[in-house]
Amino acid sequence: MKSIAPDNSTFIQRFQAGDRLVFQEVFNLYVSGILFVCKKCVLNDEDAMEITSDTFCKLFLKHCDFESLPSIHAFLKITSRNACLNFLGDKERRIIKQEEMLLYLDSTYEPGDPESDDIQASVYNRILNEIDKLPPQAKEIFKLFYFEHYTEKEIAKIVDRNINIVKSLRLHAIKLLKIKIPDLSPYR
Q: Are 139 and 131 in contact (CB under 8 A)?
A: yes
Cα 177 off chain centre by = 25
Tell me the domains of the chain and their CATH numbers.
Answer: 11-90 (1.10.1740), 108-184 (1.10.10.10)
pTM (2 d.p.): 0.50
- pLDDT tens-digit profile, the chain (188 residues): 455 556 666 889 999 999 999 999 999 999 999 999 888 888 888 889 999 999 999 999 999 999 889 999 999 999 999 898 888 777 666 666 656 655 555 555 555 566 656 666 777 778 888 888 999 999 999 888 888 888 889 999 999 999 899 999 988 888 888 888 776 554 44
What interhelical angle do 163-180 and 114-132 show, nearest 10? 130
Q: Are 31 and 52 in contact (CB under 8 A)?
A: yes
Who's near 54: CB < 8 A, 6+ residues apart? 83
